[in-house]
Amino acid sequence: MSHLNVTQKLIKEHLLLGEMTPGQEIGIKIDQALLQDATGTLVQLELEAMGLEKAQTEVAVQYVDHNLLQTDYKNADDHLFLLSAAQKFGLWYSRPGNGVSHPVHMERFGKPGKTMVGSDSHTPAAGSLGMLAIGTGGLDVAAAIAGQAYFVKMPEVWGVKLTGKLPDWVSAKDVILEMLRRHDVKGGVGKIVEYYGDGLQHLSAMDRHVIANMGAELGATTTVFPSDEETKRFLKSQKREDDWSELKADEECEYDLHEEIILDDLVPLIALPTSPGNVVPVSEVAGKPISQVVVGSSANPGLRDFWMASAIVEDKAISNAVSFDINPTSRQIIQNMVENRAFANLIKAGARFHQSGCMGCIGMGQAPASGTISLRTMPRNFPDRSGTKDDQVHLCSPETAAASALTGKITDPRDLEELYDMTYPKFEYPEYHIIKDDMLVAPLEDGSDVKLEKGPNIRSLPHIDPMKDSCRVPVLLKMGDNVSTDEILKAGADVLPFRSNLPEISKFAYTVIDDTFYDRAMKTRENHGGHIVVAKDNYAQGSSREHAAIAPKYLGQIAVIANSYARIAWQNLVNFGVLPLEFDDIKDYDKIEQGDEVRLDNLREDIENRNPIKVTVKKENGDKLSFSTRHSMSDRQIKILLKGGIINDFKERIEDDDLGTDAD
């Protein structure tokens, strides 16, 4: 491995344990950590449970960007709690309204050559700067903040060569939508996507952010770009040129997989409900009436994206049938939008401005009308994510969004040339951005005397018992392919305020799929000690929301049996002591049904020795059958699972004075 690609260079520089062979578990040193409030409250409670004194990473930042609606005391209380926790444990704190974590981190903290884990699945957006940035469960982030290695199976490196230049009316969103059109939401599982080629010279750092952000929708471990002159230009514009360093692939490097996108050949694309992988050309669905357009989110967060929408609607009025919502990504972006008149042009055209934060992307306001089409520049369109049960969310570029806002129907932006005699607006990046960093609160040198501010909605985490050796429990739910974390534990204004209150948020577990689940789970927890659920491929795709693991665990979930898992969800299950089993034969999926009773025996020995794990099924009519399952946990994960999760493991190591890195 003498000639390395960018991904291999980043991993080699930070490798603490294991070998860089695809499929083998590796442990890497983590330089930075990113937390957002929907998941960060749980991380801070985990740090409390671990007994952490001070963050060991170079940089750790707690952002408040999800739960901004203060309809009662809950979110406001959590904001105070997060500030106190950040000061106690030595983290930066980004105040409510300062902006979405990913673009703010890129502007103020991201640094080429560094590693980062984040408790948000779109953390890979930082790969746009030449970082190795991985979204993961909060417990993994907590462990990294405490100075521990981050463990992941070494992915294959998927080299995607970009050639040519994007045509007018086509932008970075269409590049990642093209990847999703080709490979759907499972195509990137077990892979790191690394972009290279001459086409990169025409993609700005924020264009790269768009592509890296939605690599999460491919299921990829992360996305990586080189650090080049464009990276340097971006950091200079943020007055951080000294943080730049070059990072590029060796000329004769190799990739495990190969792909090429000829940028000149791309057309405006759109993802139809209810998956980011359901992608078609905009021209195929043009003409359908719409009721809402939302521009913003971490998937299209740059100044260029808002300016483009403003230039398209300048001196025009949006359709009377459309709510045109602008979701600015940061206070800094707003100030720069004022400077270049994008703000004024959008307001004049009839746009509605919202807080700087994730907002409608996670169902925190901006819900669309029932049964109507909402076009969004956001990364996901899973069912009910918007807050409307029968939503029809489509994902598209700012160009397509703004064009459709004018016409009141899905519109190919190329048609604006004829409809409005419009030429494609060309954005000129400013040499320097107006910098806004006074809403970032620096960590204290010593926070040992800081008291955690816990309102009545904040509950410390309960103790999790070690893995039992046997169980006899019902199958409480049977699901199909690509079940998302939004379906397991949804987001939204009615749910996320309970993110620091496990007993309350557990009431929403699986309700998108089955609104009787909670009541049935509570009965089985009391009468049988727990339950299992069954799924097919790519179980728990989507966000890093570890509530999708710990809430079912609180309700008594002992195991999941699935054909395959999304990476983050699989790690989260282990971290909270839920056994992730895999079918030996997918045909066995058809043998087990909701309502069956499942018996698992000799679990601890079979798990530890990697024996086949026998599942004995008793049907409701009394018939019995059995089949074999397996697990793919590492030796390290087996120890964690048997102890009941990573918190128990960490506390045990504190007692044994064994808190060097796991590579020691």
- For residue 182, the model assigns a pLDDT of 98
Work out the pLDDT band at 1, boundaries 50, 70, 90: low
Q: Looking at 240, 260, 280, which one is the last position of a domain? A: 260
- Kindly state whether residue 429 falls inside one of the protein's structural domains: no
Determine if the pTM surpasses 0.85. yes
Same domain, yes or no: 326 and 413: yes
Same domain, yes or no: 227 and 94: yes
- Kindly state whether residue 453 falls inside one of the protein's structural domains: no
Q: Give tens-digit pLDDT for 259-287.
A: 999 999 999 999 999 999 999 999 999 99
- For residue 657, the model assigns a pLDDT of 60
- Kindly state whether residue 506 falls inside one of the protein's structural domains: yes
- Kindly state whether residue 102 falls inside one of the protein's structural domains: yes
- Kindly state whether residue 441 falls inside one of the protein's structural domains: no
Work out the pLDDT band at 580, boundaries 50, 70, 90: very high
Q: How far apart are CA 169 and CA 175, in angstroms?
A: 12
DSSP 440: E
- Kindly state whether residue 212 falls inside one of the protein's structural domains: yes
pLDDT exceeds cutoff 70 at 192: yes
pLDDT exceeds cutoff 80 at 663: no
> Which residue from 139, 110, 114 is spatially nearest to 125, judged by alpha carbons?
110
Same domain, yes or no: 11 and 155: yes
Q: Looking at 352, 384, 419, which one is the last position of a domain? A: 419
Q: How far apart are CA 491 and CA 438, in angstroms?
A: 29
- Structural domain including 486 reads 471-655
Same domain, yes or no: 230 and 285: no
Report the pLDDT averaged over residues 612-631: 96
Q: Give tens-digit pLDDT for 436-448.
A: 999 999 999 999 9
Report the pLDDT averaged over residues 113-120: 96
Work out the pLDDT band at 660, boundaries 50, 70, 90: low
Report the pLDDT averaged over residues 215-225: 96
Question: Looking at beta carbons, which pairs linking 630-637 to residues 24 or more positions away fall under 8 Å?
Answer: 630/581, 630/582, 630/584, 631/579, 631/580, 631/581, 631/582, 631/607, 632/582, 633/574, 633/580, 633/607, 634/25, 634/151, 636/25, 636/151, 636/662, 637/151, 637/574
- For residue 412, the model assigns a pLDDT of 98
CB atoms within 10 A of CB 406: 23
Q: Looking at 214, 237, 260, which one is the last position of a domain? A: 260
> Which residue from 414, 301, 286, 332 is spatially nearest to 97, judged by alpha carbons?
332
- For residue 659, the model assigns a pLDDT of 55
Specify whether the CB–CB gap between 38 and 129 falls below 8 A.
no
State the pairing for strand pair 373-376/392-395: parallel
Specify whether the CB–CB gap between 170 and 268 falls below 8 A.
yes
pLDDT exceeds cutoff 80 at 309: yes
Report the pLDDT averaged over residues 132-140: 92
Of residues 654 and 621, more confidently modeled: 621
Same domain, yes or no: 627 and 478: yes
pLDDT exceeds cutoff 90 at 506: yes
Radius of gyration for the chain, computed over Cα atoms and rounded to the nearest angstrom: 24
Report the pLDDT averaged over residues 575-587: 95
Same domain, yes or no: 503 and 377: no
Of residues 493 and 155, more confidently modeled: 155
For residue 484, give the CATH number of its domain: 3.20.19.10
Range of weakest confidence among 10-14, 72-76, 407-411: 72-76
Same domain, yes or no: 310 and 218: no
**Residue 654 has which token pair?**
């504190």
Of residues 461 and 392, more confidently modeled: 392
- For residue 656, the model assigns a pLDDT of 65
Report the pLDDT averaged over residues 42-47: 90
Same domain, yes or no: 193 and 311: no
Share of the chain above pLDDT 70, in %: 98
Work out the pLDDT band at 178, boundaries 50, 70, 90: very high
Mean of pLDDT over the chain:
94
- b/e code 58-83 from CB counts within 10 Å (16+ = b): ebbbbbbbbbbbeeeebbbbbbebbb
Same domain, yes or no: 595 and 498: yes
DSSP 591: G
- For residue 139, the model assigns a pLDDT of 87
Same domain, yes or no: 155 and 218: yes
- Kindly state whether residue 569 falls inside one of the protein's structural domains: yes
Same domain, yes or no: 497 and 518: yes
- For residue 662, the model assigns a pLDDT of 52
Q: Give tens-digit pLDDT for 57-109.
A: 999 999 999 988 888 898 999 999 999 999 999 999 999 999 999 999 999 99
Work out the pLDDT band at 555, boundaries 50, 70, 90: very high
- For residue 664, the model assigns a pLDDT of 42
- Kindly state whether residue 442 falls inside one of the protein's structural domains: no
Same domain, yes or no: 44 and 173: yes
Work out the pLDDT band at 243, boundaries 50, 70, 90: very high
Domain count, the chain: 3
Share of the chain above pLDDT 90, in %: 84
Q: Give tens-digit pLDDT for 468-489.
A: 999 999 999 999 999 999 899 9
Q: How far apart are CA 317 and CA 310, in angstroms?
A: 11
* Strands (DSSP E) found in 479-522: none
For residue 74, give the CATH number of its domain: 3.30.499.10
Work out the pLDDT band at 551, boundaries 50, 70, 90: very high
